[in-house]
Amino acid sequence: MSLAYKELDVRPLLEAGVEPFVEIMTTVDRLGPKEGLRLLAPFKPQPLFSVMERKGYLYELTELAGGDYEVRFFPKNAEVLTSGDAGDADHWAEPSIELDLTDLDPPQPMVKILQTLETMPPGSVLFAVLGREPVFLFPELVKRGHQWVGNHDKTGTAFRMMIRRGEAKP
């Protein structure tokens, strides 16, 4: 996925003695789901990194000529992960079951999802919210013939996924 970046140069604000934090947060709040922030600053804005991480953004830092910095903040959920055979999930059926598994510790979310899928008819869709990215669940779903798509929410605190029940494999 290609992101569009809104640019904010805080160097003139700082030169004028204005604290740029409010302007930065206002710009971030106006970003769309497929947008990032390109921030230009005269120093490495270290305290901003943790603030932006809590808001669901990762960053790339580049030192520019003259000692200035360019920081590209991009949403953690910019990347939608899919099983290789998922196709276009926009054409899947609406989820018939929704599970909030954010309070469960591994491996309980994986066990609950796999048990629930076994009770569902082929082609039906399950929606689940988990407290972290279920990296061990992905290959298990594929092995069992299911398709899945998922991503982190905007805050980066939950992983959302839809799973389409496949045909039972012998």
What tens digit of pLDDT does each residue of 97-134 get? 999 999 999 999 999 999 999 999 999 999 999 998 89
- At residue 121, the pLDDT reads 96
Dist. CA 110–CA 163, nearest whole Å? 12
Same-domain check for residues 124 and 158 = yes
Q: Is the pLDDT of residue 77 over 70?
A: no
Sign of CA pseudo-dihedral 85, 86, 91, 97? positive
pTM of the model: 0.57
Same-domain check for residues 69 and 107 = no
pLDDT band at 1 (very low <50, low <70, confident <90, very high): very low
Same-domain check for residues 92 and 53 = no
- Torsion, Cα of 4, 152, 84, 116 (10° steps): -150
Residue 146 belongs to what domain range? 81-164
